[in-house]
């Protein structure tokens, strides 16, 4: 779907400078493969002026419209949303709709998510159980053998075969095709983010003996006055860099340059966090986990129907 001239004017008029308010990125979301009937849901105030929009599409069923976040095939990485999305959600009258967004509006239910404010390493280790603390220390000690250098998008493209190798042991052939498509969408999105000029890609190349054996990519961007660090991926050679995924998480969470920023590893959906993402949640002790608003209009529609009888 291509944005109409009217929709583009609305997006530009509401642009607050944040990452997801970029007209180019909104258009990128609406072009995602696998999303049927992509469109913008718009909200207008009592004077007829647009005050919010939300890119949506049908992914799971023909009865459900879903917020198109950065990655429609998995939970959204960044808990940010387009300007005025809250206004859109409050006015929805659809029977079926689900989405997950961050919001400080008290009318939204808050759920724990794999996000936390960046903190010092020793503080983080103190919060862990003895067994996990020992395991994390062991992984960090092994990390000292790596040389870490800045990377670029081409390094991510070249690392994709490692991802497929790891996934080939976890998924059926049919599922593996979906994961390959997911990898392509991820790279396309990161390229669009970089081109938008509204975020910095922090790409770390992990090397052993001068050879790159792993890559980690985080997107750094400002949202509502706070720096967000969205950890998108860690792809690595499973033979030479096993355990790098967890070690890179700890390294990013406790990065001295990112203290106080919101580190986002994975988010819940309406029905709770996906089982394959539970390990991410478990890396963050409950005492430091942040929450994310979850708004399920299916439940609201059901309650309205019950109240009408």
Question: What is residue 72's predicted lDDT score, i.e. its pLDDT?
Answer: 45
For the chain, the straight-line distance linking the first and the last C-alpha, in angstroms and rounded, comes to 40
pLDDT at residue 274 in the model: 63
Q: What is the pLDDT of residue 112?
A: 76
Tokens representing 172 are: 């059926």
DSSP lists the bridge partners of residue 211 as 208
Asked if residue 181 lies in contact with residue 237, where contact means CB atoms within 8 angstroms, the answer is no
3-state secondary structure of 288: coil
In terms of DSSP bridges, do strands 36-44 and 211-223 run parallel, antiparallel, or are they unpaired? unpaired
**257 DSSP 8-state letter:** G
Answer yes or no: are the C-beta atoms of 127 and 287 closer than 8 Å. yes
Contacts 24+ apart (CB under 8 A), 287-290: 287/127, 288/116, 288/117, 288/119, 288/124, 288/127, 289/112, 289/113, 289/114, 289/115, 289/116, 290/112, 290/113, 290/115, 290/116, 290/117, 290/262
Relative to beta strand 291-296, strand 36-44 is: unpaired
| Nearest Cα residue to 115 out of 294, 284, 295, 287 | 284
Question: Which pLDDT value is given to residue 73?
Answer: 47
DSSP state of 243: T
pLDDT of residue 75: 43
Which runs of consecutive H residues, i.e. helices, occur in the chain? Answer: 5-13, 23-30, 85-91, 121-126, 130-143, 153-168, 173-196, 244-253, 278-283, 297-308
Q: What is the pLDDT of residue 270?
A: 47
Could you read off the pLDDT tens digit of each residue along the chain, which spans 309 residues?
Answer: 889 999 999 999 999 999 889 999 999 888 877 778 888 999 999 999 999 998 888 776 676 677 776 554 444 455 567 888 888 877 776 644 555 556 666 667 777 778 899 999 999 999 999 999 999 999 999 999 999 999 999 999 999 999 888 888 777 877 777 778 778 888 988 999 999 999 999 999 999 999 999 999 999 999 888 999 989 899 999 999 988 999 999 999 999 999 999 998 866 544 456 666 677 888 999 999 987 766 666 666 566 566 665
Rounded Cα distance between 229 and 222, Å, is: 9
Q: What is the predicted pLDDT for the residue at 295?
A: 63
Phi, psi of 252 (to 5 degrees): -70, -45
């Amino acid at each position: 779907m291509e944005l109409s001239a009217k929709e583009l004017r609305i997006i530009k008029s509401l642009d607050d400078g944040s990452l997801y308010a970029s007209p180019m990125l909104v258009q990128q979301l609406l072009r995602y493969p696998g999303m049927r009937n992509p469109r913008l849901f718009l909200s207008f105030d009592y004077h007829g002026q647009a005050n919010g929009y939300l890119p949506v599409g049908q992914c799971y069923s023909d009865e459900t419209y879903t917020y198109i976040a950065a990655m429609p095939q998995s939970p959204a990485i960044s808990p940010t949303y387009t300007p005025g999305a809250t206004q859109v959600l409050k006015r929805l009258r659809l029977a079926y709709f689900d989405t997950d967004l961050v919001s400080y509006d008290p009318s939204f239910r808050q759920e724990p998510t794999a996000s936390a404010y960046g903190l010092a390493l020793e503080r983080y280790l103190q919060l862990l159980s003895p067994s996990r603390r020992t395991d994390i220390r062991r992984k960090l000690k092994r990390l000292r053998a790596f040389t870490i250098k800045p990377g670029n998008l081409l390094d991510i493209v070249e690392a994709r075969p490692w991802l497929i190798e790891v996934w080939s042991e976890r998924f059926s052939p049919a599922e593996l095709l979906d994961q390959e498509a997911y990898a392509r969408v991820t790279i396309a999105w990161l390229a669009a983010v970089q081109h938008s000029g509204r975020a910095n890609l922090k790409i770390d190349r992990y090397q052993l003996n001068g050879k790159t054996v792993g890559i980690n990519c985080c997107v750094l961007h400002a949202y509502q006055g706070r720096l967000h660090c969205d950890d998108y991926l860690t792809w690595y050679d499973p033979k030479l860099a096993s355990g790098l995924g967890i070690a890179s998480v700890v390294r990013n969470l406790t990065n001295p340059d990112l203290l106080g920023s919101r580190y986002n590893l994975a988010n819940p959906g309406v029905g709770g966090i996906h089982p394959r993402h539970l390990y991410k949640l478990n890396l963050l002790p409950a005492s430091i986990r942040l929450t994310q608003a979850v708004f399920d209009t299916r439940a609201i529609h059901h309650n309205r129907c019950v109240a009408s009888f």
